[in-house]
Structure 1
């Protein structure tokens, strides 16, 4: 594991259909419902997405949460409360930060306030920065696979990822 994803980064990566980072990552229990809530808000309250798209994205989240490592924060209550109180952030945001600290992970968040404050404790990045970084690696690896085996690895990768989540 290298990354701890918050709900904002999970939703943004899923909307781009960019699932590879989740294999090297983790999140906390509440992220599933926070992610679904963000999609519900975009559909019901803001009207930014159609119902069909929202449902498809929720299904994609279900697949991802069958693969990504989900860390329990139940034993971190006191630490989460202290971080939230000292930094004046929500308990939800503090749970992401606490899990990242405890597990020595880079916090991936598209919430500028959380990312800025968290950088005092852990390395941070955005989903967009991670996307760019992994895209470079992906291109190099794909070129390597094509040269050696004559295959386009990342053309088949999303199919493989989906089939893994079904088991």
Structure 2
């Protein structure tokens, strides 16, 4: 039987509890899950790609079938390079659905062997976004309840050095 490999791509700047929940749930669905850490060219990242990779790796150490890798270029090319056939995406709301549906359709038109799998955010994570959290943190707000402990520690270090 062919190994079912999935990729969960994102910028994860920073990784949130919502992201972590999707990683945990997807890791139970697939033989292997690759968390593909990308740089969003339209945004100025708070953390470097290497810092994000490290934080995610430290957070998922208990998930033996999850690996963390950097991605550049098209997601479908990354999937093909790693013999993956599934893209995992989390959906928080209708706007996420509309955006992700269009990307999934385009990906499928470019690579018919790739299937998108959507996981709905749990209610407690539906309002969490990295952008909102960065805004709160910028004004010294406490987001420790919305991110893994490793990320909260790095946010405090990063903010201590920037303020």
TM score, norm. by length of structure 2: 0.38
Larger-Rg structure: 1
Structure that is richer in helix per residue = 1
